[in-house]
């Protein structure tokens, strides 16, 4: 039953149309950024000091994102899995900071030893977040290892909402305001720039945490195990690496970083509530993708970049384009960055892993 | 693990029992279950479910309140779970229920009781309220049963143990009776909890006297009513279980050539029932049904995107918003910038068009992304949409936080009948739903439906087998967007206004929970999902605070235990239980081989 | 007349040249076996021909038309279908649906006709053709098997289904990637016969990657041997099997020297 082969109409055009469309978006985005920035800067609406403030704010915000992004990126590195609930791990760190500082403010320690008190809060936040992250992996993710990729991801979405509303149910849904700390009042002149103290604390703590992480990953045996599992879990297991323990450790380290970030976030903004983890979580994920997911230095670079883009972007670009009340669109700007990065450079700034990579 | 043979090779393998000994109930697992059970019980208490006014004291059956019931159901149910025999492997002897089951139940019960007792002792002596805002004096009071803390702790421990024991001992009861008892209890609970609902419904059906008989006014089921309900349903389950009747066997019993006729008959009966629904439900509950219907419309759309095409869209609410806002702009006289004041149906083409454009706008950039990345980017699009309609920048068109008011009611064209009553709106929604269900089935078995499934299964191979992946994905987004936008338009006219805060990410998550719990790619599953997960919380307003907590827990539970959903599409079940099917296939091929070799 | 002509084709992964300035051709109606040691670039060649991988350079000419740069679906539409080394079916779809999908590019009913049920005639045709194609394999894939999911099939049946899927797209050239891998001797013999039937009854031109030399011997009109992405021999089975470079590629230089 040989069939005569019908001549085919071929449509060679689809891909070029899509590609040219994407190019068009790319050019439009670049033009908008350049034009908006030029108008903003030439109008001189903001003074030099205001720009510097925005930069410092961006850097401190970016350090928080970078700390959270580390957890996303490390977990992605070993499991190829987006831990959607990581934002909640961060939020629980902030919650812990609230309860600890609130408790300490009833004692004399808060006034007599403000730095020590903050340090206690930091450590407590890191411990709680670490426990939550490790527990989450143990209960919700480990049984699903090796299942189709979307199954653990949907579980993570469930875990995210469960943790949010469990926090709301247990601790109340109201905003929680942290007590004021003497130590954080005022500002410091630093390299010719006036920096308010909380932001300085955030930046310095974040730098210290990242140095610690770097040492852990690059210089210790546990760090080597992590890198080995990230490279190839099966081979690592054959080489005698305890994969389960290493993955737990990755979650623990990621959780500790997120806990620290939560504490810093709560200190800078002075308040936290059960939904505080959602938006920073997504933004930190954006930062991880921006830097190249699975890549630890990438998370740091991505965090800082996103912090700066978000802080400067609306004033620089959107105001220049004549958008009213541009600061309202700050979050939107961050999401747009995410979309743009994933469309045009899914490997991120430093990354070599592809977003399109298959399981 | 089973030891295969003993060391003494001489010992003849006399029976199956020695070769494949039954696996005993795992007591270490029972301890684990007990610990989680304790944590769950303390959580339920501390989260305020037990003692919140209007929640903890809903009467279920004569004097039994919801708070205690839920608290003490935990050791009983988890005691039962802890005592569950381990899964049976092919060829192994079945585990006989025995004292070990009871012991496992007791372990879980003791641990639960102990956790609660400990919690009570701590909370009774230290004021936990600054941290755990729901650990209130009424809660302590409830947990201590009017006794001193020490005595109350002993009571908690004792009752936990007793209930765990009961749960474990239930394994000793033949499965048929076990199911009957469970079925009866669940229905007593449901009918007691939904007193207001059943009262209204029975009243509307002209059977108010039934409600009067069953219920004590405002106090749940009366003892007699409760017993009657229990007996009725237990008997029903026992009968069905005894005769081995289920939906599937009923379907199979109808001869092949009469199936079509039977299906038509059932369809007709269903239609008549559906037409009566608003009368039965009354005004208030019709409104609830409408909300559930709108969500169902969205869920059917998302089911095409996620269930068929496998594109996990977390920003689905964006299309709902597009539908709502387009409808509002085109129909409302209160639309700030552009107000053509069309009728609802005249505005529908604009709604569909806007949705299609939005579908393409969201779909195009994500064409090359896979899985979880796609999810996060669509989530981003959802938030971008919300932030735009909320912003002052777009206020001249969308009214920012003030939204758009005065969205008119639907007027039926030609007749000129204006739909004011939710009971009438129900029919309009029903028409949309009928269309959506019909279209879902039609698409599933079409060329495009197969292309979607192929992309879901393996995108590369789909492309290599000639599927135009770009077009197929865009169509999935467009169809999903159109369904959601119709839901949005209906929502706008039902509420009479649109506000940005109605379009938060939680809407997307709700719809996702509905389709995953119901059963991905399964239309009946999606329908059941929206009835249970949207309508029920709307009826039980007292649970509003815990709604998303339950959704989250449900997602985790489903993924861990039943990823194919409650009414799975048949294929999905096989895919996700591949190993079991693999076993079956292995057995079958062995049999085939034997028979061919023999023949 | 050469139906498929490959000129100067190259493709590298990192620094490794998987296909290196390869020239080869396939005549209409012949069965060509591609052999070579592991890593010789055989599967890469198929991926390049079917558009699953972009080329680094060179031409792939199908009927005087360069198909480099077309999308896989377009190449299928032009008449080149394939199977995969590690059987890639649509596991959750039924046997029949798997075959129906392959007719996607030969049919046209879109979303709106489907909703309006204007696609009934075409659907019936697609279905009929799928069932006829499955019947090519005797009784193995028909009857109750139509509605079974692909994943529930035995391994050999999965391979057969994959071939049926390729057949349903009305190809002129079928690329079979190790069709007998993992099969027992009886199944292998059956597959060898089947490849012959595909050419004789269906008039396909067939290119097959194969490791089993008995199969190669049994089916091939011509054998092409690859090593390090280059063609090292081209001719009848006898010629290629006794070619020194081929023996060298399989056994190593030393073995040849000793022989």
Over residues C197-206, the pLDDT tens digits come to 999 999 999 9
* Nearest one of B103, B142, B101 to B120, comparing CA atoms: B142
Query: Consecutive sets of 10 residues in chain B, 599 residues long: mean pLDDT of each?
Result: 42 49 83 94 91 85 88 93 80 76 94 95 90 89 90 94 93 88 92 91 90 86 92 92 75 76 88 91 92 95 94 93 95 87 92 96 83 85 91 86 89 86 93 94 93 93 92 95 96 92 90 89 90 88 86 89 80 48 49 49
Touching subunits for chain C (3+ Cβ pairs under 8 A): A, B
The reply to whether A275 touches chain B by the CB within 8 Å rule is: no
* Nearest one of B92, B106, B88 to B160, comparing CA atoms: B106
The reply to whether A105 touches chain B by the CB within 8 Å rule is: no
The residue of chain C nearest to residue A12, with distances taken between CA atoms, is C70
User: At A156, is the pLDDT very low, low, confident or very high (cuts 50, 70, 90)?
Assistant: very high
What was the pLDDT predicted at B89? 66
Contact at CB, B449 and C92, closer than 8 angstroms: no
Q: Taking the model in full, what pTM does it have?
A: 0.88
How distant is the Cα of C147 from the closest Cα of chain A, in angstroms? 24
Touching subunits for chain B (3+ Cβ pairs under 8 A): A, C
The average pLDDT across A198-213 equals 91
Which of B380, B390, B545 is nearest residue A169 as measured by Cβ atoms? B545
Record the tokens describing residue C166, joined without a space: 């390729």
Which of A154, A324, A342 is nearest residue B392 as measured by Cβ atoms? A324
The reply to whether B373 touches chain A by the CB within 8 Å rule is: yes
What was the pLDDT predicted at B393? 85
How distant is the Cα of B297 from the closest Cα of chain A, in angstroms? 22
Contact at CB, A8 and C77, closer than 8 angstroms: yes
For residue B60, give the 3-state DSSP assignment: strand
What was the pLDDT predicted at A16? 65
Which of A1, A3, A10 is nearest residue C78 as measured by Cβ atoms? A10
Which of C72, C101, C117 is nearest residue B450 as measured by Cβ atoms? C101
Q: Contacts of residue C73 in chain B, CB cutoff 8 Å?
A: 463-469
CA dist B158 and B166 (Å) reads 12
Chain A from 13 to 32: CB within 8 A of any C CB: 14-15
Contact at CB, A332 and B549, closer than 8 angstroms: no
The average pLDDT across A244-258 equals 94
Q: Contacts of residue C97 in chain B, CB cutoff 8 Å?
A: 450, 453
Q: Are C6 and C49 in contact (CB under 8 A)?
A: yes
Contact at CB, A335 and B380, closer than 8 angstroms: yes
Buried b / exposed e over B348-366, threshold 16 CB at 10 Å, is bebbbebbbebbeebbbbb
The reply to whether A325 touches chain C by the CB within 8 Å rule is: no
Strand partners of residue C235: C223
Strand partners of residue A204: none
Contact at CB, A6 and C71, closer than 8 angstroms: no
What was the pLDDT predicted at B526? 93
The reply to whether B461 touches chain C by the CB within 8 Å rule is: yes
What was the pLDDT predicted at C204? 94
A167 pLDDT more than 90 = yes
A322 pLDDT more than 80 = no
Which of C50, C115, C151 is nearest residue B442 as measured by Cβ atoms? C115
Hey, how many other C-beta atoms are within 10 angstroms of the C-beta on A276?
Answer: 25
Chain B from 83 to 142: CB within 8 A of any A CB: 130-134
CA dist A121 and A104 (Å) reads 9
Contact at CB, C70 and A12, closer than 8 angstroms: yes
- Cβ neighbors of A40 (< 8 A, separation 6 or more) are A46, A315, A316, A317, A319, A320
How distant is the Cα of C135 from the closest Cα of chain A, in angstroms? 13
User: At C248, is the pLDDT very low, low, confident or very high (cuts 50, 70, 90)?
Assistant: confident
Which of A82, A151, A154 is nearest residue B376 as measured by Cβ atoms? A82
Contact at CB, A5 and C170, closer than 8 angstroms: yes
Q: What is the pLDDT of residues C35-91, one digit of tens each?
A: 998 888 899 999 999 999 999 989 999 988 899 989 899 999 999 999 999 999 999
* DSSP assigned state of A349: T
DSSP per-residue string spanning B390-450: HSSTTHHHH-GGG-B--PPPPEETTTTEE--SHHHHHHHHHHHHHHHHHHHHHHHTSHHHH
Q: How many B×C Cβ pairs under 8 Å?
A: 124
How distant is the Cα of C246 from the closest Cα of chain A, in angstroms? 34
Higher-scoring residue by pLDDT: A322, C11: C11
The reply to whether C135 touches chain A by the CB within 8 Å rule is: no
A265 pLDDT more than 90 = yes
What was the pLDDT predicted at B592? 52
Strand partners of residue C66: C61
Higher-scoring residue by pLDDT: B348, A25: B348
Q: What is the pLDDT of residues C194-234, one digit of tens each?
A: 999 999 999 999 999 998 899 999 999 999 999 999 999 99
What was the pLDDT predicted at A247? 93
A13 pLDDT more than 50 = no
What was the pLDDT predicted at C255? 55
How distant is the Cα of B459 from the closest Cα of chain C, in angstroms? 10
């Amino acid at each position: 039953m040989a069939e005569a082969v019908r001549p085919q109409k071929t449509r060679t055009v689809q891909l070029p149309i899509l590609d040219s469309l994407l190019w068009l978006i790319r050019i439009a985005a670049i033009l908008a950024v350049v034009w908006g920035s030029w108008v903003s800067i030439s109008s001189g609406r903001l003074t030099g000091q205001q720009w510097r403030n925005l930069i410092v704010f961006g850097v401190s915000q970016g350090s928080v994102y970078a700390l959270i992004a580390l957890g996303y990126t490390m977990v992605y590195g070993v499991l190829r899995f987006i831990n959607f609930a990581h934002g909640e791990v961060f939020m629980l760190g902030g919650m812990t900071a609230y309860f600890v500082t609130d408790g300490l403010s009833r004692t004399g320690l808060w006034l007599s030893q403000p730095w020590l008190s903050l340090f206690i809060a930091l450590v407590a936040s890191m411990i709680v977040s670490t426990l939550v992250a490790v527990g989450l992996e143990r209960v919700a993710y480990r049984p699903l290892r090796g299942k189709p990729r979307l199954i653990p991801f949907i579980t993570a979405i469930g875990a995210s909402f469960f943790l949010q509303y469990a926090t709301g149910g247990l601790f109340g849904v109201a905003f929680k305001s942290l007590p004021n700390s003497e130590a954080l009042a005022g500002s410091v002149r630093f390299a010719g720039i006036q920096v308010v103290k909380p932001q300085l604390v955030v930046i310095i703590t974040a730098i210290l945490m990242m140095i610690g992480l770097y040492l852990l990953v690059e210089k210790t045996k546990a760090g080597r195990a992590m890198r080995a599992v990230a490279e190839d879990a099966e081979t690592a297991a054959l080489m005698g690496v305890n994969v389960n323990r290493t993955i737990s450790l990755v979650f623990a380290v990621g959780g500790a970083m997120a806990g620290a970030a939560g504490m810093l976030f709560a200190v800078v903004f002075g308040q936290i509530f059960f939904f505080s983890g959602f938006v920073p979580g997504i933004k930190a994920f954006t930062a991880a993708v921006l830097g190249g997911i699975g890549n630890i230095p990438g998370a740091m670079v991505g965090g800082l970049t996103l912090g700066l883009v978000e802080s400067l972007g609306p004033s620089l670009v959107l105001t220049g384009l004549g958008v009213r009340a541009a600061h309202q669109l700050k979050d939107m700007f961050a999401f747009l960055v995410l979309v743009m990065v994933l469309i045009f450079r899914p490997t991120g700034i430093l990354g070599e892993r592809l977003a399109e990579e298959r399981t | 693990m089973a030891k295969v043979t003993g060391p003494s090779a001489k010992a003849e393998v006399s029976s199956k029992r020695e070769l494949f000994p039954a696996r005993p109930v795992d007591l270490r697992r029972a301890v684990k279950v007990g610990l989680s059970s304790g944590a769950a019980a303390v959580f339920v208490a501390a989260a305020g479910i037990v003692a919140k006014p209007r929640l903890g004291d809903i009467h279920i059956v004569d004097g039994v309140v919801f708070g205690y019931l839920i608290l003490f159901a935990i050791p009983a149910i988890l005691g039962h779970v802890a005592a569950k025999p381990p899964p049976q492997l092919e060829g192994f002897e079945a585990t006989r229920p025995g004292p070990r089951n009871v012991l496992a139940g007791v372990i879980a019960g003791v641990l639960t009781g102990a956790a609660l007792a400990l919690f009570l002792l701590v909370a009774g002596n230290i004021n936990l309220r600054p941290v755990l805002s729901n650990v209130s004096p009424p809660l302590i009071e409830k947990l201590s049963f009017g006794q001193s803390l020490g005595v109350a702790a002993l009571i908690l421990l004792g009752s936990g143990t007793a209930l765990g024991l009961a749960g474990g001992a239930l394994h000793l009861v033949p499965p048929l009776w076990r199911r009957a008892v469970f079925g009866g209890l669940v229905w007593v609970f449901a009918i007691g909890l939904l007193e207001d609902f059943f009262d209204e419904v029975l009243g509307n059906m002209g059977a108010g006297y039934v409600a009067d008989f069953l219920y004590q006014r405002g106090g749940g089921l009366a003892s007699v009513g409760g017993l009657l309900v229990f007996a009725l349903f237990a008997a029903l389950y026992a009968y069905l279980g005894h005769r081995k009747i289920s939906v599937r066997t009923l379907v199979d019993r109808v001869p092949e050539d009469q199936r079509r006729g039977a299906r038509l008959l059932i369809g007709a009966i269903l239609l008549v029932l559906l037409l009566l629904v608003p009368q039965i439900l009354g005004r208030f509950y019709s409104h609830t049904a409408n909300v559930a219907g709108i969500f169902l419309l969205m869920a059917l759309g998302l089911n095409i995107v996620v269930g068929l095409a496998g594109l996990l869209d977390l920003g689905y609410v964006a299309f709902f918003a597009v539908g709502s806002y387009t409808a509002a702009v085109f129909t409302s006289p209160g639309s700030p910038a552009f107000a053509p004041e069309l009728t609802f149906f005249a505005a529908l083409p604009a709604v569909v068009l806007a949705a299609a454009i939005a579908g393409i706008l969201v779909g195009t950039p994500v064409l090359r992304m896979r899985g979880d990345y796609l999810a996060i980017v669509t989530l981003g699009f959802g938030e971008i949409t919300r932030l735009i309609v909320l912003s002052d920048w777009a206020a001249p068109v969308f009214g920012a936080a003030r939204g758009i008011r005065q969205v008119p009611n639907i007027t039926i064209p030609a007749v000129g009948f204006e739909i004011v009553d939710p009971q009438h709106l129900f029919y309009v929604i029903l028409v949309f739903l009928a269309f959506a269900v019909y279209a879902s089935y039609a698409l599933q078995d079409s060329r495009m439906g197969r292309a979607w499934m192929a992309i879901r299964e393996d995108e590369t191979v789909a492309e290599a087998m000639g599927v135009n992946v770009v077009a197929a994905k865009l169509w999935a987004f467009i169809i999903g967007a159109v369904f959601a936008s119709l839901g949005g338009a209906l929502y706008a006219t039902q509420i009479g206004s649109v506000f940005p805060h109605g379009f938060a990410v939680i809407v997307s998550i709700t719809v996702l929970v509905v389709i995953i719990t119901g059963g991905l790619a399964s239309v009946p599953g999606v329908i059941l999902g929206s009835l249970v997960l949207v309508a029920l919380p709307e009826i039980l307003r007292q649970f509003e605070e815990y709604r998303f907590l339950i959704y989250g827990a449900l997602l985790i539970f489903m993924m861990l235990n039943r990823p194919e959903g409650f009414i799975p599409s048949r294929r999905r079940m096989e895919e996700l239980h591949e190993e079991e099917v693999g076993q079956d296939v292995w057995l079958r091929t062995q049999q085939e081989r034997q028979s061919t070799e023999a023949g | 007349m050469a139906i498929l002509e490959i000129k100067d084709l190259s493709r590298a992964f990192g620094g490794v040249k998987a296909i290196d300035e390869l020239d080869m051709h396939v005549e209409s109606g012949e069965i060509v076996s591609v052999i070579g040691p592991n890593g010789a670039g055989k599967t890469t060649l198929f991926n390049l021909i079917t558009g699953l991988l972009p080329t680094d350079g060179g031409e792939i000419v199908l009927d005087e038309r360069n198909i480099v740069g077309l999308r896989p679906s377009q190449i299928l539409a032009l008449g080149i279908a394939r199977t995969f080394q590690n059987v890639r079916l649509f596991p959750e779809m039924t046997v029949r649906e798997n075959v129906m999908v392959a007719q996607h590019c030969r049919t046209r009913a879109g979303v709106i006709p489907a909703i309006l049920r204007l696609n009934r005639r075409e659907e019936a045709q697609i279905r009929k053709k799928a069932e006829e194609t499955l019947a090519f394999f005797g009784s193995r894939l028909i009857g109750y098997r139509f509605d079974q999911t692909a994943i529930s099939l035995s391994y050999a049946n999965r391979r057969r289904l994959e071939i049926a899927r390729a057949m349903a797209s009305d190809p002129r050239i079928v690329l079979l990637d190790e069709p007998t891998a993992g099969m027992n001797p009886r199944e292998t013999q059956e597959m060898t016969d089947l490849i012959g039937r595909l050419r004789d009854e269906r008039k396909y031109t067939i290119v097959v990657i194969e490791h089993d030399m008995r199969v190669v011997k049994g089916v091939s009109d011509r054998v092409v041997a690859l090593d390090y992405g280059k063609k090292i021999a081209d001719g009848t089975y006898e010629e290629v099997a006794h070619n020194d470079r081929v023996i060298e590629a399989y056994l190593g230089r030393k073995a040849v020297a000793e022989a």
